[in-house]
Amino acid sequence: MRLNRLTDYAVVMLAHIGRPGRESGPEAGGRRVVTAAEMAADSGVPLPTVAKLMKLLAQAGILASQRGALGGYRLARAPERITMAEIIAALEGPIALTACVDGREGDCEVESLCPMRGNWDKVNRAVRQALDAVTLADMSLEPQRFPPVAAAAAARPVAQAS
Amino acid sequence: MRLNRLTDYAVVMLAHIGRPGRESGPEAGGRRVVTAAEMAADSGVPLPTVAKLMKLLAQAGILASQRGALGGYRLARAPERITMAEIIAALEGPIALTACVDGREGDCEVESLCPMRGNWDKVNRAVRQALDAVTLADMSLEPQRFPPVAAAAAARPVAQAS
DNA sequence: CTTATACGGTACCAAATTAGTCCCCTATTG
DNA sequence: CAATAGGGGACTAATTTGGTACCGTATAAG
């Protein structure tokens, strides 16, 4: 159920690219251009790994790449129009919880006992919808510095304990 | 994004237990009792693996176990009241797409660039809801023997091709 | 037109998960 | 008390994943 580390990195980086950025210049096409090397430096993730990720995201049409000197990557669209489902699909393939899905047959060795070929689609559809509803913009929001629960605890210091 | 094979097996087996069953006897508590060995034979999954699975499902309160001769497993509740979310959580831990979740801190090494601690919760909540909405009963339904598309093709045999 | 920058692609290796196995213990029925 | 059936933990093999290396191609600046 957990998604792999690379996908996690990807979301963090995409959110980072999407955010305004400190030393913002003219910015081609209205969106920030960032190099893989920059991303690596900013994130601590090793450069070759970052490069691989960016590549995949570019192929999926989530990032637009510019080769050569002064090149780099920028979001292909506004963050509001990039969904989690898309990002995850780009890095982990189609969103489907099991192998016996989407018409692909013959992979399921226990077909004898498995009259549920179609039932998984219900689950997959549900999950896909859930992930379509969350955009990169949602993920880019800076949450309040302290979570609500901590704030509440601070407001009512030590009382009622014991 | 894919869930592991064991979880897949588990759903198949639970659905199997939930279904009426051919040689149904009196059935303790109104629900079918099945042994791990039976499940292994029916499914082709090796017995030790089945045993491990059933054990976990029993611990999670999804199956009720009966030890000793004539023992076995049965559903702890009606299939309508067992959700996918529950089954998945039982076998893969809490439903959360990333490690930096649910208050657990210190696992995320890239916290410097990662102002998204709370944002993942949106995604997790969405997925959890999606999986809560699908029950074991939904997964137990026998889909029509031929999928709609094949049926349509059969009704309109060879015409219009080429 | 040459050089430096930066992305593109492929193949490969090492480390971490995951699936599956083994062995022995405890409970229940007849 | 013998046979059946689940409970628990440790270990091993196989896959998957993350990360690396190397070389090619495009673009901008001088």
Per-residue pLDDT of chain A (162 residues; tens, 9 = 90+): 889 999 999 998 999 898 865 554 445 456 889 999 999 998 889 999 999 999 999 999 999 999 999 999 999 999 999 999 999 999 999 999 987 654 445 555 555 555 676 788 889 999 999 999 999 999 988 765 544 444 444 444 443 333
Q: Using the predicted structure, report yes or no on whether residue B103 has a pLDDT greater than 80.
A: no
D2 C1' to B68 CA distance, Å: 13
Fold of A5-75: Arc Repressor Mutant, subunit A (1.10.10)
Q: Model-level pTM?
A: 0.83
Best mutation target, B2, B4, B82, B146, to test chain A (most A CBs within 10 A): B2
Do B18 and B79 form a contact (C-beta atoms < 8 A)? Answer: yes
Give contacts of A136 with chain B, Cβ < 8 Å: none
The answer to whether B35 CB sits below 7 Å from nucleic acid chain C is: no
**DSSP of A28-46, one letter per residue?**
GGGS--B-HHHHHHHH---
Q: If you measure CA to CA, which chain B residue comes closest to A41?
A: B113
Tell me the C-alpha distance between A126 and A121, whole Å: 8
Tell me the C-alpha distance between B125 and A138, whole Å: 14
Do B79 and B36 form a contact (C-beta atoms < 8 A)? Answer: no
Question: What is the location of CATH 1.10.10.10 in chain A?
Answer: 5-75
Do B123 and A134 lie within an 8 Å CB cutoff?
yes
Highest mean pLDDT among A21-25, B10-14, B97-101: B10-14
If one compares B161 and A47, the residue with the highest pLDDT of the two is: A47
Q: What pLDDT sits at residue A60?
A: 97
Do A42 and A22 form a contact (C-beta atoms < 8 A)? Answer: no
Distance from CA of A76 to the nearest CA of B (A): 22
Q: Which of A95, A126, A139 sits opposite B116 (nearest CB)?
A: A139
Tell me the C-alpha distance between A121 and B3, whole Å: 14
pLDDT confidence tier of residue B61, bands split at 50, 70 and 90: very high
Give contacts of A16 with chain B, Cβ < 8 Å: 113
Q: Please identify which residue in the block is written with the tokens 């489907």.
A: A96
A151 and chain B in contact, CB less than 8 A: no
Distance from CA of A139 to the nearest CA of B (A): 5
Q: Please identify which residue in the block is written with the tokens 């897949």.
A: B8
Highest mean pLDDT among A102-106, A143-147, B7-11, B150-154: B7-11
A99: nearest Cα among B69, B137, B7: B7
DSSP category for residue B46: -
